[in-house]
Amino acid sequence: NTLKALKYKGRLWPAFAPESIRGVETFKSRDGDAIVVAYPKSGTHWVWEMTRLLQAGKTDVPMIEKDDGMIEDVLPEKLESQSSPRALNTHAHFELMPKEVLNKKNCKLIYVTRDPRDVAVSYFNHHRKLVQYYEYKGQWKDYFPLYLSGKVDYESWFAYTRGWEQGIKDNPDLQVHVTSYEALHENTNEEVKKLAQFLGASTDETFISDVVKMTSFDSMKVSKGKNETFKGKDQTEAPIMYRKGKVGDWKNWFTVAQSEQFNAVFDREMVGTMAFELYSHTKQDQ
Ligand code: A3P
């Protein structure tokens, strides 16, 4: 019951990009860069798409993939060749962020968090469908303990989240905008507007509502999903990065016992954090 991953700098990363991973160390940050930082399956594609449309100031832009801006997945020289302002993303833990980003503090970071139970379900489907990379064939009941103990690429959600929260606290001069998958769902217009303000982009009402429309789950599933490289083993499968796009799908997957087990770990690992404030009140839902 394990999945294939790449060990680098003491942590597990996805196995599919052994050549580009060095970019995590050598990345050259530029003024104007916006980097979406999130644990996998937290809405990275969604927020990255919003970010690049906001940066462009228009919604009529050529289709490119979120993974074209993924620091650990694109060769450094290719990232260098992109013109500014760049929309980038990474799932790196805070302490493994490219040094320049943390030292120069010239990039804008967009930190996205999501209910770790929905992340678990989404990540399970990701690992199962990308069997050609992860060679994972376990069932949900097998995957659940793997996720809880962080034996997946990017490791523990709990450690990732604590690390970023602490990193943001300890570095008040970093330019960081914090949002969550749930807030984006509940109040999409308002959240996109806040993101626009943070990026120094236009907050024109029509533009904001166009960005909201272009980045809706249904429209991204068609406009992006059809063309993205990451497809399931069977290339005719539904786009895997646009699975369900809902809040609370974990309730369809977690057993009562799994829910109790999850809550015990969540309480122990997260007490005193922002994530605890965000998600502990929904713990009783089942
Ligand atoms: P589900 O598997 O729960 O559907 P990431 O981009 O970080 O890999 O996150 C993927 C998750 O975000 C998936 O969750 C995916 O369906 C959801 N998602 C992708 N695009 C979205 C959008 N435009 N609106 C809402 N959710 C979206």
Which candidate in 91, 93, 126, 177 is catalytic? 91
- Give tens-digit pLDDT for 248-276: 999 999 999 999 999 999 999 999 999 99
Which pair of structure tokens corresponds to residue 10?
Answer: 């003491």
| The predicted structure's pLDDT at residue 237 | 59
| The predicted structure's pLDDT at residue 235 | 52
Number of neighbours of residue 131 by Cβ within 10 angstroms: 14
**Percentages of the chain per state (helix, strand, coil), in multiples of 5:** 50, 10, 40
- Give tens-digit pLDDT for 55-91: 999 999 998 999 999 999 999 999 999 999 999 999 9
First to last CA, the chain: 27
Ligand 1 neighbourhood includes 243 CB (under 6 angstroms): yes
Say yes or no to pLDDT of 229 above 90.
Answer: no
% of the chain with per-residue pLDDT over 90: 86
Cα(117) to ligand 1 centroid in Å equals 14
Ligand 1 neighbourhood includes 239 CB (under 6 angstroms): no
Protein residue with its CA nearest to atom 9 in ligand 1: 41
- Give tens-digit pLDDT for 42-51: 999 999 999 9
Ligand 1 neighbourhood includes 215 CB (under 6 angstroms): yes
- Give tens-digit pLDDT for 201-227: 999 999 999 999 999 999 999 888 877
Number of neighbours of residue 46 by Cβ within 10 angstroms: 24
Residue 236: half-sphere exposure toward Cβ, Cα within 13 Å: 0
| The predicted structure's pLDDT at residue 119 | 98
| The predicted structure's pLDDT at residue 101 | 96
Q: How many angstroms separate the CA atoms of 87 and 69, rounded?
A: 6
Protein residue with its CA nearest to atom 10 in ligand 1: 41
- Give tens-digit pLDDT for 109-166: 999 999 999 999 999 999 998 888 899 999 999 999 999 999 999 999 999 999 999 9
| The predicted structure's pLDDT at residue 228 | 74
Q: Which atom of ligand 1 is nearest to the CA of 126?
A: 2
Ligand 1 neighbourhood includes 180 CB (under 6 angstroms): no
Q: Which atom of ligand 1 is nearest to the CA of 219?
A: 23
Q: For the chain, give the number of residues.
A: 286
Pairing assessment for the beta strands 11-14 and 108-113 based on DSSP bridges: unpaired
Ligand 1 neighbourhood includes 85 CB (under 6 angstroms): no
